[in-house]
Amino acid sequence: MAAARTRRTTTALLAGTIGLLSPLTLAVPAWAQAAPADGYFATPPPVDMDKLIPDSRQPDKTYTQTKGCVQRSTLGQDIQIKNRPWGQEYLQISKAQDIVKAATGGAGSGVRVAVIDTGVTKHPWFQDRLKSGGDYVATPTKGQQPGLEDCDGHGTEVAGIIGAKPDNPEVGFVGVAPDATIVSYRQLSENYEPAKQNSTAGSSTPPSSSTNPPSGTGTELPPGGGGGGAEGDGTTPGQSNGGRQLEKAGTAGTLKTLAEIIHGIAERHEADVINMSVDNCRPATGSITEGEQQVQAAVRFAAQAGIVIVAAAGNATDTCPQNDQPDARRPKTIVTPPWFADDVLSVGAIDEYGSVAPFSVHGPWVGVAAPGTKIVSLDPAEGSGSLANLTFENGDKASEIQGTSFAAPYVAGLAALVKAKYPKLDAKGIVNRIKETAQHPAAPGGRDNFVGYGVIDPVAALTQVLPSEVGNQAPPPAPQLAQLPPANDHSSTPVIVALAGTAGGVLALLITLFVMHTIRRNRPAETDTRR
- The total of other beta-carbon atoms located within 10 Å of residue 19's CB is 9
57: alpha, beta or left? (left if phi > 0; alpha if psi -120 to 50): left
CA distance 401 to 520: 94
Catalytic residue among 55, 60, 117, 343, which?
117
Torsion angle of the four alpha carbons 421, 426, 432, 434, in this order, in degrees rounded to the nearest 10: 30
Kindly state the DSSP code that residue 220 receives in the 8-state scheme. Answer: E
CA distance 415 to 386: 26
Look up 78 and say whether it is catalytic: no
SS3 (DSSP) at 13? helix
DSSP letter string, 308-321: EEEEE--B--SSS-
Q: How far is CA 158 from CA 104, 122, 466, in A?
A: 25, 13, 30
Q: Which of 392, 403, 81 is closest to 230 using CA atoms?
A: 81
Look up 150 and say whether it is catalytic: no
CA distance 420 to 308: 13
CA distance 312 to 276: 7
Q: Is residue 278 within 8 Å of 258, Cβ to Cβ?
A: yes
- The total of other beta-carbon atoms located within 10 Å of residue 216's CB is 8
CA distance 205 to 407: 37
Q: Is residue 370 within 8 Å of 456, Cβ to Cβ?
A: yes
Q: Which of 388, 392, 368, 390 is closest to 380 using CA atoms?
A: 388
Look up 152 and say whether it is catalytic: no
**Peptide bond connecting 337 to the previous residue in cis, omega within 30 degrees of 0:** yes
DSSP letter string, 269-298: T--SEEEE-EEEEEE--B---HHHHHHHHH
CA distance 438 to 446: 10
Catalytic residue among 405, 440, 448, 457, which?
405
Catalytic residue among 123, 154, 263, 362, which?
154
Catalytic residues: 117, 154, 405
